Structure formats: structure tokens, C-alpha cells
Amino acid sequence: MARLDAEPFALEIDPGALGLVVIDMQRDFMEPGGFGASLGNDVSLLRAIIPAAARLIEGFRAAGLPVIHTRECHRPDLSDLPPAKRDRGAPTLRIGDPGPMGRVLIAGEPGADIIPELCPKAGEVVIDKPGKGAFHATNFGDVLKEKGLRQLVFAGVTTEVCVQTTMREANDRGYECILATDATESYFPAFKQAAIDMIRAQGAIVGWTASTDQIREAIG
């Protein structure tokens, strides 16, 4: 066991049951011309966390702990895309439309790929998910059980959408969740801060928060 100096209070980490979940670090959210940009967002904000996310991933790999990646994307025939999701808002490109990085948020298209800086290593699990949360319509829950995980560190984008949704789903399923505050980002800094505050409020009602350095120190 190791002590993680987290907020709102320190947490005992069991390295045998700890994994890292990196949410949706995809070109479609991080680069111009993708889904994030089509909604009018400034994608450059998200790129600032790439070095911290890379250090977090390296720390888990060096410690021999599992790294799981997710990608928000849909089947090419859109059979897993509810009209309510496709028709939402007024983006310049809708999910499935052809764009500069291929069809937007479609599995197998260049835009759905994880950015090269954080490319999964051979053997690491990559979960393709049609929802904001990683448990919905995927085998994510089975993967966590197979790996014997009980504590999950979360990184990725965006903090208040897919990261927070998945953390809440995991929290409800009994996992202890830790958000790596400098390895997650939002297009809206105020939303990121609000998500962090909500997660650790009321005695860690959804989970804990800690920096990449603090997490790396705890996992050795």
C-alpha cells in the first residue's frame, strides 16, 4: 500500500488494484477540423495537458500498471448513434459527416484516432464508446473486473463531459476514482474547475483529485 496525498484527504493506494483510464485523447477533440472545433470550441486549450498526460501514462507503464484508453466514436453505419445525439446543437459538421480528418467521430477514421503523442502501446486496452460514459454499450466494466482493478486514476478530455460521466459511473459501481487535475482539460476552464470541485466535495462524493506528480510519487 502507498499513500496518495490527494484532495479532499489522503488515500491508501493498492498498486495491485490500480489502473489508469485515459479518456478520449482523440484528434477529433484535440485538433482543428474535428468534432470539438465543429462545435465552436478553441481546441488549443486542450493541447496544454499533453505533456502531463504523457508523464502520467509513462509512470503507469514504468510501474507495470494497466493503462486503458477510450475513444468516443460510432460505427460507420451510425447504428449506435441516437438521433438525439446526432441532431443536438448547431455544429458546422455533424457526427458522420465528412471532414478534414475523415468522417467526424467515426471508428477507423483519422479523426477518431488517439493523438500520436499518447498513442496506446501494444497490449493496452482501447475501448470504443458511443456514449459520454465508458460503461454504456461497451465491455469496459468486464475489462476492469478481468484486470482486478478497484482504484482508477482518470485523465483525458473533456473534464466535465466524458471524464466526469465515466468517473460518476465508476463511482456508482464501487470503484475509488482519482482525477489527475493537470492531465484533464475542458474547452471551458470554469467547467473544469467546477467539475473538480464537485468531484471532491462532501468528503469525496465522486472521488479524489491529485496532480500527476503526486500520483507518480505514490506509484513509485
Q: Helix 212-219 to helix 50-62 angle, to the nearest 10 degrees?
A: 10
What part of residues 68-127 is at the interface with ligand C5J (CB under 6 A)? Answer: 72
- Active-site residue, 145 included: no
Q: How far is the CB of 45 from ligand C5J (least distance, A)?
A: 12
Catalytic one among 28, 73, 128, 129?
129
**CA triple 159-161-166, angle to 5 deg:** 85
Give the residue with the Cβ less far from ligand C5J, 69 or 132.
132
| Beta carbons within 8 Å of 198's beta carbon, 6+ residues apart | 164, 205, 206
CA gap 104, 98 in Å, rounded = 6
Sheet strands side by side (includes 125-129): 125-129, 67-72, 18-23, 151-157, 176-185, 208-210
Contact residue for ligand C5J among 7, 24, 109, 169 (CB under 6 A) = 24
* Active-site option among 162, 177, 182, 192: 162
CB nearer to ligand C5J: pick between 16 and 40: 40
CB of 117 to ligand C5J, least distance (A): 17
Q: Which is nearer to ligand C5J, 83 or 220 (CB)?
A: 83
Residue ranges in 161-220 that form contacts with ligand C5J under rule CB under 6 A: 161-162
Q: Is 213 a catalytic residue?
A: no
**Length of the chain, please?**
220
Q: Which stretch binds ligand C5J (CB under 6 A): 91-99, 155-163, 166-174, 198-206?
A: 155-163
- The interface region with ligand C5J, picked from 118-126, 141-149, 153-161, 212-220 by CB under 6 A, is 153-161
CA distance 117 to 37: 20
Nearest one of 176, 190, 186 to 218, comparing CA atoms = 176
Closer CB to ligand C5J, 166 or 212, in the complex: 166
Site size toward ligand C5J, by CB under 6 A? 8
Contact 112, 118 (CB under 8 A): no
Nearer to ligand C5J, 111 or 216 (CB): 111
Does residue 14 have an active-site annotation? no
Catalytic center residues: 24, 129, 162
> Which residues would be at the binding site for ligand C5J (CB under 6 A)?
24, 29, 72, 132, 157-158, 161-162
